[in-house]
Amino acid sequence: MIHSTNVIPAASFTTNPFATRWTRPDACLFLFPPNTNIQQLLDQLHQQQGWGQIVGPHGSGKSTLLESLKPALESRGHQLAHYALHQGQRQLPMKWSDNLLQHATQVVVDGFEQLSKLSQYRLKRYCRKFDKGLLITTHQPLGFADLIHLQPDLATALRVVAHLQRNHPEIIHEDDVRRHYRHHSHNLREMLFCLYDLFEKRRLETGAPADSV
Amino acid sequence: MEPLISIRLDRPQRAYQVGETIHCQYQVDRVKLNQLQAVEASLLWYTEGKGEEDLGVHYFQRNIPTADEPDIRALKQFQTTLPGSPLSYEGIILKIQWCARVRVFLQDGTTYTQDQAFLLGKTPVAQIVQP
């Protein structure tokens, strides 16, 4: 239960390190698995003529990895056309005549499996015809050359939480991460949502002072 | 070395009410003039929480070097009347933060941002109560 009291607000609230503004794909640093780095992935994608799939379950960091790859691809001279698809989105949100797509050398589709089989086929054919790379994310392999398979583990979860809390007192502890990681069946996104609530609860209990946002 | 961005609001407690005027001064230092492309100042609110985020800009000004005013690092100021909503709010799943924000754009494409938070209104902080 939540209610309002007469507690006087401070000009600057205590930011929650698990809030969307810190955990969304374009705000959060992708923590590469051991023995993997961004240059390796870029080189591999280059060898595959820009075609590849990033495979992983819900909340495993596929979109976050894409956001990390985008500036690196641009710095290698690629023009990107990036489309993020949501559940049930069966067609690409663009026309074949769009400038962005026509000038792109690398097409990136986050959630490629949302597209209908026909839309998938058309996009692949278009990219082949005009010699464009096609990098996708998907939950299950879709016949593209692999770029990476993401399978988060507890060690990754601990690293992510430690990174998000790096500028905060350690309100969320390792035991919390272990418990919530198991509870959410290895879905890091759902785990972070729950850690947001836990952080709020403990912050209010301890009366943690407001810090700068 | 990062540029030094200073923002000062006219009230030490940084608490304002709807319809009041807020005065803001800002200055950029520790950066060479020829490195600077632009300096932007804004007064805005944003949400923070578990879901979708929102943001609204109430006031905005952009400074670029001109013949009349080549040094955009110098102390600048603006004032604006504060709107009726949204009020600052510190909830559990949603928070609304007002701030004065200064963004510095360098010629090499790097951007630096500094916020100075303030309160609009006096909405009490939400608390969790155990049943």
For chain A, list the domains and their CATH numbers: 40-86+94-149 (3.40.50.300), 152-206 (no CATH)
Mean pLDDT by 10 residues, chain A (213 residues): 54 83 90 91 97 94 95 95 92 90 97 96 96 97 96 92 90 95 88 93 69 40
| Closest by Cα among A190, A189, A205, A195 to A175 | A195
Interface A–B counts its CB contacts (< 8 A) at 88
Q: Tell whether B53 is within 8 A of chain A (Cβ).
A: yes
User: How confident is the model at residue A207, as a pLDDT?
Assistant: 62
pLDDT of residue A14: 73
The mean predicted confidence, pLDDT, of chain B is: 94
CA A118 – CA A48 distance, rounded (Å): 23
Q: Summarize pLDDT for B47-88 with one digit per residue, the tens.
A: 999 988 999 999 999 999 999 999 999 999 999 999 999 999
Gap between the Cα atoms of A183 and A162, Å rounded: 19
A200 contacts in B (CB within 8 Å)?
A: 92-93, 128
Q: Span B104-118, mean pLDDT?
A: 94
List phi, psi (to 5°) of A152: -60, 150
Chain A residue nearest residue B13, CA to CA: A11
How far, CA to CA in Å, does A132 sit from each of A28, A42, A54, A85, A89?
28, 15, 17, 19, 23
pLDDT at position A208 is 57
How confident is the model at residue A8, as a pLDDT? 59
Q: Cα–Cα distance between A202 and A173 in angstroms, integer? A: 11
pTM of the model: 0.80
pLDDT band at B128 (very low <50, low <70, confident <90, very high): confident
pLDDT at residue A213 in the model:
37
d(CA A181, CA A89): 29
Sign of the dihedral defined by the CA atoms of residues B112, B56, A25, A47, in that order:
negative
Q: How many whole angstroms separate alpha carbon B41 and alpha carbon B88?
A: 20
Which residue has better confidence, B122 or B118?
Answer: B118
pLDDT at A4: 47
pLDDT at A7: 59
ipTM of the complex in this document: 0.74
Inter-chain touch A13–B97, beta carbons under 8 Å = yes
Smallest Cα distance from B68 to chain A, Å: 35
Cβ of B119 within 8 Å of Cβ of A10? The answer is yes
Instruction: Output A187 or B40, whichever has higher pLDDT.
Output: B40
Mutate to test the interface with A, among B122, B128, B129 (most CBs of A within 10 A): B128
Beta-carbon separation of A212 and B117 below 8 A: yes
Shortest CB distance from B129 goes to which of A3, A7, A212?
Answer: A3
Domains, chain B, in order of start with CATH, read 4-120 (2.60.40.640)
Q: Strand, helix or coil at B73?
A: coil
Nearest to A201 among B46, B119, B128 (CB): B128
